[in-house]
Amino acid sequence: MRREHIEYKTMAQLRKIRKAALIVNDIHTALRQAAKPGVTTKQLDDVALRVLHDHGAKSNFMGYEGYPAQTCISVNDVIVHGIPGDHVLEPGDILSFDCGCVLNGWHGDAAFTMVLPGGDEAVHERREWLCEVTRRSMWVGIAAMAHGAHVGDIGAAIDDYISGLSPEPGIVEDYVGHGIGTQMHQDPDVPNYRTYDRGAKLKPGMVLCIEPMITAGDQDNFTEPDEWTVRTEDGSDAAHWESEVALTDKGIWVMNLPDGGASELARFGITPVPLGE
């Protein structure tokens, strides 16, 4: 197996990452507000740009391996890496927003999924369910980072949760979570499924992006000729949630949320530990 090079952060560095991640949270809030039927995904990308600009931050997606936008906006059967453009949103669309920023050299990266009001009632309900189980699977993964011993414990927990659902959704295996810090993508890989290898030991100073991508049907996917847009092969809907989580010797802290994840982690018996000022 390839040797992993993990960047362990000091407390002061973690606090810098938190600043970047909280800007991503502000972008999410603005996008949740602005996303409506009739709006184009490019208009939403511009909303993200404005928030980035207001904070004096830059998108870490723009230019990444030639990526041409501030954010990724993935609609319906698009799993990830949808490029904002002239696509007009419709009632009942399920869409995921993946956003990131770099501030003073430190990276934030987080994603959420939402379902627009309206559309066919049955379709709408199924999409809300997919959004919610994906969100929950992310929190199950985050809880496993707090309780676990190895990076692989995160994917195992997500896998156990998703496999227990009926109908059983697909876990996308071709894309995984990752370490993050002075670059957006760092070691270690963070798979969303159980692997034979338990992976690196969870150690203080690690920052991981935990980001399950879940499909209503089969996980098989293809990339469009634009070389970015990833769609389900069977046309089924997809959802994607991502949080950036720090591990210290005292516990975890969800960087992209002002409460560090406290309200969601309570039901797992976990109290996130602040990083200080």
Q: Could you tell which of Co ion, ligand MF3, none binds residue 272, using a CB distance below 5 to 8 A set by kind? A: none
Mapping DSSP to helix (H, G, I), strand (E, B) and coil, where does residue 154 land?
Answer: helix
Report the sign of the C-alpha dihedral through residues 251, 253, 254, 257, in that order.
positive
Q: What number of other Cβ atoms are within 10 A of residue 18's Cβ?
A: 24
State yes or no: residue 227 binds ligand MF3 (CB under 6 A): no
Can you name the residues that pair with 178 across neighbouring β-strands?
Answer: 189, 209
State yes or no: residue 211 binds ligand MF3 (CB under 6 A): yes
The contacts of residue 276 (CB under 8 Å, 6+ apart) are 11, 15
Considering only 77, 93, 159, 242, the residue that binds ligand MF3 (CB under 6 A) is 242
State yes or no: residue 45 binds Co ion (CB under 5 A): no
Q: Could you tell which of Co ion, ligand MF3, none binds residue 64, using a CB distance below 5 to 8 A set by kind? A: ligand MF3
Q: Does a cis peptide bond (omega within 30 degrees of 0) precede residue 225?
A: no
The CB-of-98 to ligand MF3 minimum distance in angstroms stands at 5
Question: How many residues bind Co ion, per CB under 5 A?
Answer: 2
The contacts of residue 3 (CB under 8 Å, 6+ apart) are none
Q: Could you tell which of ligand MF3, Co ion, none binds residue 61, using a CB distance below 5 to 8 A set by kind? A: ligand MF3
Nearest CB to ligand MF3, comparing residues 67 and 129: 67
State yes or no: residue 72 binds ligand MF3 (CB under 6 A): yes
State yes or no: residue 244 binds ligand MF3 (CB under 6 A): no
Nearest CB to Co ion, comparing residues 89 and 207: 207
What span, in angstroms and rounded, lies between the C-alpha atoms of 142 and 170? 19
Considering only 26, 98, 159, 244, the residue that binds ligand MF3 (CB under 6 A) is 98
The CB-of-38 to ligand MF3 minimum distance in angstroms stands at 25
Scanning residues 185 to 244, which ones bind Co ion (CB under 5 A)? 209
Residue whose pair of structure tokens reads 């090079």 in the numeric block: 5
Ramachandran angles phi, psi of 187, nearest 5°: -65, 155
State yes or no: residue 108 binds ligand MF3 (CB under 6 A): no
State yes or no: residue 109 binds ligand MF3 (CB under 6 A): yes
Mapping DSSP to helix (H, G, I), strand (E, B) and coil, where does residue 111 land?
Answer: strand
> CA angle at residue 202 from 198 to 206, to 5 degrees?
130
What span, in angstroms and rounded, lies between the C-alpha atoms of 135 and 272? 18
Q: Which residues bind ligand MF3 (CB under 6 A)?
A: 61, 64-65, 67, 72, 81, 98, 100, 109, 178, 209, 211, 242
Binding interface with Co ion (CB under 5 A) = 109, 209
